[in-house]
Amino acid sequence: MASFPFFTFSTNSLILLVLLNLTYLLAAKHSKYASHHNHYHHHHHPLAASNARLHQASNDRLHQAFIALQALKHAIYSDPKNYTTSWVGPSVCSYEGIYCAPALDNPEIQVVAGIDLNHADIAGFLPDELGLLTDLALIHLNSNRFCGILPLTLANLSLLYELDLSNNRFVGPFPTVVLSLPTIGYLDLRFNNFEGPVPPELYQKKLDAIFLNDNRLTNIIPTGVAGSSASVLVFANNNYGGCLPPSIVHFANTLEELVLINTNLTGCLPQEVGFLYKLRVLDVSFNNIVGPIPYSIAGLAHLEQLNLGFNKLSGIVPAGVCMLPDLANFTLSNNFFCEEEGICQNLTSRGIVFDDRRNCLVEKPNQRSKRECNAVLEHPVDCFEHPCECGEAAAFPPTISPMPTSVPLPSPSIAPTPL
């Protein structure tokens, strides 16, 4: 989902309400909401009694929301911007950062459909009572100081479409509770302290965007994944520690951005990367990737940004890659390339931002020393003899060089959402 800078409270409210309506429509498309609340509809009773029950249902649902939001308020240790000062009394739709909308099963009643506390700098934890907010379509909590683990009761949020918990202090293993959310379409967990493997089931969800960068996650792309709907995968600054498996090809029908900066990738890039025919951004910089550039990348007709910098790639830079029609930025600095074919020798003449410093290109300035180059080029890597197996890189043991904890000039997708 697109993010918008909010300049005034009125602009913020207007845009969020539009987003909320769109989110609710998307959630409704994938849910069985009506059957979930069918105990509010009894067509064999008189109309007046039915209306009375619906109004009571509305009161009950707002009362449940009141309980949940008061529990959240009491779980907050610090609220320096006084976001929750207005959270007094049962009129929850007037609370700052809380957004109500017509219920999907009955547009005549209002329910709490969104929480937006982005950039509130709140410290606290998420209480179990949040599971009472069963009408929520979006939760935006980025850029706060929430900590601890996610409550399992979030599994009750059967309409939740957007979950943004980025730039907080959440810990523990990957929060598998998100796998139980039937309508989740946007997941942002970046800039936290989640650790351990990412479950393969994540990629079976109908997610448009997955942001997991800047955690402590491993095994980010499983070898057995059978397909995904994601158009954006951002996994930078984690500890993947293996080679990119050929199973990445299962993302071909949807994937447009793949960002794997500083994930301790090893081994060769598989030819299957070139089968991601919708790809616009490919960034695998600051890793330990070896071997040549897969020539299949020359088939990525929509590719705009290609960053291979700070690896141990070698061989020839193919002219086919340099001739990609939409290419605007190509970085291959700090590798061991020894030759650039054809147009690659003067890409800047096409208006392309190009960086080939610190390689082994004898006719170019700012290159590695002959001694550095010979140490690598005298031992070429045959990627066909050592394919990536089981997501591991046994044939290419990690040779980790010091890397910055915060990689300079990251791809735009990595910056925290400005909401």
- Same domain, yes or no: 149 and 219: no
Q: Is residue 207 part of a domain?
A: no
The whole-number average pLDDT for the span 293-298 is: 96
- 107 with 16, same domain? yes
Same domain (yes/no): 297, 174: no
- 220 and 124 assigned to the same domain: no
Q: Which domain, by its residues, includes 10?
A: 1-197
Q: Count the domains in the chain.
A: 2
Using the predicted structure, report yes or no on whether residue 312 has a pLDDT greater than 90.
Answer: yes
The pLDDT, as a whole number, for residue 87 is 97
Same structural domain for residues 189 and 243?
no
Residue 26 placed within a domain: yes
Mean pLDDT computed over 282-293: 97
Residue 136 lies in a domain: yes
In a domain? residue 267: no
Regarding whether 288 and 143 lie in a shared domain, the answer is no
- Maximum distance among all alpha carbons in the chain? 90
pLDDT per residue over 354-396, tens digit each? Answer: 999 999 999 899 999 999 999 988 888 889 877 775 444 333 3
Q: Is 80 left (phi over 0), alpha (psi -120 to 50) or beta?
A: alpha
In a domain, 263, yes or no: no
CATH number at residue 363: 3.80.10
Q: Do the domain assignments include residue 4?
A: yes
Note whether 87 and 190 are same-domain residues. yes
Looking at the fold, whether 322 and 367 belong to one and the same domain comes out as yes
In terms of domains, do 168 and 241 share one? no
Whether residue 32 is predicted with pLDDT greater than 80 in this model: the reply is no
pLDDT tens digit string along 247-280?
Answer: 899 999 999 999 999 999 999 999 999 999 999 9
Return the CATH number at 39.
3.80.10.10
Judged against a pLDDT cut of 50, whether residue 319 lies above it is answered with: yes
The predicted structure's pLDDT at residue 229 = 87
**Whether residues 187 and 294 fall in one domain:** no
Confidence at 45, pLDDT banded by 50, 70, 90 = very low
Cβ-Cβ contacts under 8 Å for 378 (sequence gap 6 or more): none
Six token digits for residue 361: 């290109």
Is there a single domain that holds both residue 193 and residue 217? no
CB-CB contact of 380 with 269 (8 Å): no
Q: Are residues 291 and 387 in the same domain?
A: yes
Is the model's pTM score more than 0.85?
no
- Using CB atoms within 10 A of its CB, is residue 199 exposed (0-12), middle (13-18) or buried (19+)? middle
* Higher per-residue confidence, 34 vs 28: 28
Tokens of residue 137, six digits: 């379509």
Residue 147 domain flag: yes
Q: Is residue 164 scored above 90 in pLDDT?
A: yes
Q: Which residue has the higher pLDDT, 35 or 107?
A: 107
- Considering the domain boundaries, does residue 261 fall inside one? no
> What is d(CA 209, CA 231) in angstroms, rounded to the nearest whole number?
6
34 vs 414 pLDDT, higher one: 414
Question: What confidence category does residue 39 fall into, taking pLDDT thresholds of 50, 70 and 90?
Answer: very low
